[in-house]
């Protein structure tokens, strides 16, 4: 037997058990909530807009999709690198030590027990990053795409005054003149998170200011519906992830930090992704009024201005993701978790 009844090793065994137990729990949770995930994905594919409304400028969805893909791949690779780095120590030193402290009912200090245990741990370490990274990566991707929809909404709100077309040469000339003036302007920074404005082509399709505003309201309602579906799918994951991270980081202070450095880093990064991207969505969802004020609202007619006021009152409440209807997900929660860990 390879258990020497050391307190540090016992805690290490329990931590490894907890990590794999939570990994299998997340896998089963995804299977149980797969129908909700399917509904969420079908909603995204059917309703997310690819570009903003016609106007002086426009933004597309392509940049956000590219950013989401890069973030997802980077996180999966980081999780794999952190998990597999445990196997470098026995390879570099040449000692027959297992990368992870675990108890086995057979001798792992000699062949073939060592090779069998090493191979089993390797398979387990390949499983963990894909499960943990898959959940966090999908969460991060959905938040980025949701923020991108807000970018598209902001661009549409900004261009409400430019959405009217027609074949009148005066309108065409005024449109071209505004575009030339736009090229020479110093543009406001940080209007959009992952998107970049481009000059749009003139559209002969006529649309009133009020109709353009109604289209923006419908887009905003769609984003709120997406946020509800998203939170409903991730609700159980939020609360269990926060609970696991608290226990995991608390136990880390009882063992040697240097030995478990990668797990500590990935655990903190995973929690930061959960809180930071929730904060990002909250911030992005609070800027609809700001985007509407960039339009030529002073030239709109009475019904359109009244519609603007109603829209601003409905859009002023930001989207706040909640873990199990108990804890708000934001950077304050992340800092509170880090302070709690430090006290142990």
Residue 85 lies in a domain: no
Q: 265 near 257, Cβ under 8 Å? A: no
Residue 92 lies in a domain: no
Q: How far is 262 from 271, CA to CA, in rounded Å?
A: 14
Residue 242 lies in a domain: yes
Residue 83 lies in a domain: no
Strands 327-328 and 57-58: unpaired
Q: How far is 193 from 148, CA to CA, in rounded Å?
A: 7
Per-residue pLDDT of the chain (344 residues; tens, 9 = 90+): 444 555 556 666 777 777 788 888 888 999 999 999 999 999 999 999 998 888 778 888 888 899 999 999 998 988 888 777 777 767 666 666 777 777 777 777 777 887 888 888 888 888 888 888 889 899 999 999 999 999 999 988 888 876 555 555 556 656 667 766 666 666 666 788 888 887 777 666 656 778 888 899 999 999 999 999 999 898 888 888 777 766 655 554 444 444 456 566 767 777 888 888 889 999 888 888 888 888 877 778 888 888 888 888 888 888 888 877 777 888 888 887 776 654 44
Residue 21 lies in a domain: no
Q: How far is 135 from 137, CA to CA, in rounded Å?
A: 6
Query: 75 is written with which tokens?
Result: 């996180």
Query: 38 is written with which tokens?
Result: 């399917």
User: ∠ CA(133), CA(33), CA(81), 5° rounding?
Assistant: 10
Domain of residue 194: give its range. Answer: 28-58+135-343
Residue 198 DSSP code: E
Domain count, the chain: 1
Residue 70 lies in a domain: no
Residue 150 lies in a domain: yes
Residue 113 lies in a domain: no
């Amino acid at each position: 037997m390879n258990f020497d009844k050391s307190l540090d090793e016992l805690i290490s065994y329990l931590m490894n058990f907890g990590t794999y137990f939570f990994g299998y729990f997340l896998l089963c949770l995804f299977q149980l909530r797969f129908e909700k995930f399917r509904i969420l994905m079908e909603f995204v594919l059917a309703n997310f807009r690819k570009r903003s409304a016609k106007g002086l400028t426009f933004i597309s969805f392509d940049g956000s999709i590219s950013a989401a893909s890069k973030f997802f791949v980077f996180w999966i690779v980081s999780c794999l690198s952190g998990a597999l780095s445990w196997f470098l120590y026995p390879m570099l030193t040449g000692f027959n030590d297992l990368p992870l402290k675990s108890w086995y009912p057979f001798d792992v200090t000699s062949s073939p027990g060592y090779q069998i245990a090493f191979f089993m741990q390797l398979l387990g370490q390949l499983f963990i990053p894909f499960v943990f990274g898959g959940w966090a990566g999908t969460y991060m991707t959905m938040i980025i795409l949701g923020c991108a929809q807000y970018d598209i909404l902001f661009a549409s709100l900004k261009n409400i005054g430019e959405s009217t077309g027609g074949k009148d040469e005066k309108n065409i000339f005024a449109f071209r003149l505004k575009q030339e003036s736009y090229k020479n302007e110093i543009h406001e920074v940080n209007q959009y998170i992952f998107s970049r404005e481009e000059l749009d082509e003139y559209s002969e399709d006529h649309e009133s200011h009020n109709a353009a505003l109604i289209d923006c309201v419908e887009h905003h309602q769609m984003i709120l519906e997406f946020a509800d579906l998203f939170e409903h799918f991730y609700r159980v994951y939020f609360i269990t992830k926060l609970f696991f991270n608290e226990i995991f980081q608390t136990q880390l202070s009882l063992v040697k930090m240097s030995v478990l450095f990668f797990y500590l880093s990935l655990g903190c990064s995973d929690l930061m992704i959960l809180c930071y991207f929730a904060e990002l969505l909250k911030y992005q969802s609070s800027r609809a009024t700001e985007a509407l004020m960039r339009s030529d609202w002073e030239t709109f007619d009475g019904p359109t201005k009244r519609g603007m006021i109603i829209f601003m009152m409905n859009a002023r409440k930001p989207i706040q993701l909640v873990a199990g209807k108990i804890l708000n997900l934001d950077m304050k929660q992340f800092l509170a978790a880090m302070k709690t860990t430090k006290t142990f």
